[in-house]
Amino acid sequence: MARNSEEAKDAILKAFAWVGMACDGDVVYQSKRFDLYKKYIDQLLEEGKAYKCYMSKEELAALREEQMAKKERTRYDGRYRNFTGTVPQGVDPVIRIKAPQEGMITFEDGVKGTINIAATEVDDFVIARADGAPTYNFVVAIDDALMGLTDVIRGDDHLYNTPKQIVVYKALGFNLPNFNHVAMINNEQGKKLSKRDGATDVMDYKTMGYLPEALLNFLVRLGWSHGDQEIFSIEEMIALFEPKNINKSSSNYNLDKLLWLNAHYIKNTPNDELAILLKGYGVDIHGHDKLELLLDATKERGKTLVELADQINLILATPSAYDEKSSKKAFKGEAKTILADFAVMLQNWEGTLHLPCDYHAVMDKLVETKEIGFGKIGMPLRVSLLGSMTGSGLDEIMAILGVDETVLRIEKAIATIA
């Protein structure tokens, strides 16, 4: 943990900042509070609530094996709990806490309801290692209590740590916080999420082109709902979210829905904000005079910022090649002459062409005078401008490019037609 701890801290804080979570107070390092934990350990020792255990690791392993052979639950047998004999030489003792030996450890979980765990399920667990370093369940309880934590919300996998931590809270006389254990999120196959499932770091979602609002909205609806509402602003989440109506069962990660939400949030993000975000994806259109037009023409088409960036680049860059299938279909028959005529018309009308509708009027005129279908000009023009048969509206693209670039692309395309 000492290794790269600064780096790790920064990464966590950065992720918090990205999703818009604020944190107060300074970062507290457990490794720098050993004296404090030591004080509590000594206190428990003195009060007889904890004791030294001289069992060696080998002995412990042997005990465990024996229990496993008998198909019993593996647990420490408490042999040093009330030890009065002479202590073994050459063994640095660990400190174990005295957990209740009978009855139930009961707590009210905010999402799961009442949880009853037999005291026999919790053994006298180690609170300080042989080298004196305190253990997780011990320090967590102390930190939480000292920081005045009122609500613990954590993953399901910590449910079994709770009775242990309660033992610590009680031994030290601290007030119990509210515990809430949220079920796990599984991958799309319903299995435990692992590194192979893609993102392991919150910031991976940023690099994949997701908006933090979309991620948050996606996550909040996993295991939680508010009637039929699907879209939640951060303010709404804060106002409406209650741990008690989180589902008890685990849910599956669903990429389609995340993508759908992300597309929704992209469509609803103002263009100037999108332009700033896009800088992180290799597209700098900040000073572009057709910025609004460019984003209006593309934002409906990109499910992620990465896709949106691709869409923009597709329009901005002169196609270096034409999709084979598309060109075969589009560049046939009279396509060549139609394109040439269209280019001439554009040049003739150049001074009057500004808005998408102006360009549309030229297309209308061409279709009318040549008595052809819209597709006759639409298809070849599209392939000329974008290199493929799909993409944004032609009139918008031309308005963004301007007459010169449009004509250039048309001429380039004509040159490839046999």
Residue 346's contacts (CB-CB under 8 Å, 6 or more residues apart) are 353, 359, 362, 398, 403, 406, 407
What is d(CA 66, CA 211) in angstroms, rounded to the nearest whole number? 53
Q: Map the footprint of RNA across residues 158-187, applying CB under 7 A.
A: 158-161, 183-184, 186
Residue 402's contacts (CB-CB under 8 Å, 6 or more residues apart) are none
Residue 165's contacts (CB-CB under 8 Å, 6 or more residues apart) are 137, 140, 141, 144
What x/- string results for residues 6 through 25 when contact with RNA is judged by CB under 7 A?
--------------------
Report in angstroms how near the CB of residue 161 gets to RNA at its nearest.
5
Residue 241 within binding range of RNA, rule CB under 7 A: no
Q: Is 413 exposed, middle or buried (0-12, 13-18, 19+ CB in 10 A)?
A: buried
Select the residue interacting with RNA from 187, 250, 269, 271 (CB under 7 A). 250
Select the residue interacting with RNA from 318, 347, 348, 390 (CB under 7 A). 390
Residue 31 within binding range of RNA, rule CB under 7 A: no
Residue 378 within binding range of RNA, rule CB under 7 A: yes
List residues bridging with 50 in a β-sheet.
Answer: 97
Q: How many CB atoms lie within 10 A of CB 226?
A: 16
What x/- string results for residues 37 through 76 when contact with RNA is judged by CB under 7 A?
------------------xxx--x---x------x-xxxx
Sheet holding 113-118, edge to edge: 113-118, 104-109, 178-182, 151-155
Indicate the helix (H) or strand (E) that contains 128: strand 126-128
- Smaller CB separation from RNA, 171 or 386: 386
Q: Map the footprint of RNA across residues 99-118, applying CB under 7 A.
A: 112-113, 115-118
Report in angstroms how near the CB of residue 194 gets to RNA at its nearest.
10
Residue 223 within binding range of RNA, rule CB under 7 A: yes
What is d(CA 381, CA 396) in angstroms, rounded to the nearest whole number? 13
Stretch that binds RNA, among 10-18, 248-256, 277-285, 334-342 (CB under 7 A): 248-256
Q: Taking a C-beta distance cutoff of 8 angstroms, is the pair 165, 154 a contact?
A: no
Select the residue interacting with RNA from 129, 286, 325, 354 (CB under 7 A). 129
Q: Amino acid letter at 1? A: M
Q: Taking a C-beta distance cutoff of 8 angstroms, is the pair 74, 67 a contact?
A: yes
- Smaller CB separation from RNA, 193 or 234: 193
Total residues binding RNA (CB under 7 A): 79
Q: Map the footprint of RNA across residues 310-369, applying CB under 7 A.
A: none
Report in angstroms how near the CB of residue 371 gets to RNA at its nearest.
15
Nearest to 391 by CA among 409, 408, 373: 409
Report in angstroms how near the CB of residue 206 gets to RNA at its nearest.
22
Residue 121 within binding range of RNA, rule CB under 7 A: yes
- Smaller CB separation from RNA, 112 or 336: 112
Report in angstroms how near the CB of residue 287 gets to RNA at its nearest.
26
What is d(CA 130, CA 252) in angstroms, rounded to the nearest whole number? 42
Residue 191 within binding range of RNA, rule CB under 7 A: yes
Residue 79 within binding range of RNA, rule CB under 7 A: no
Residue 157 within binding range of RNA, rule CB under 7 A: yes
Residue 124 within binding range of RNA, rule CB under 7 A: no
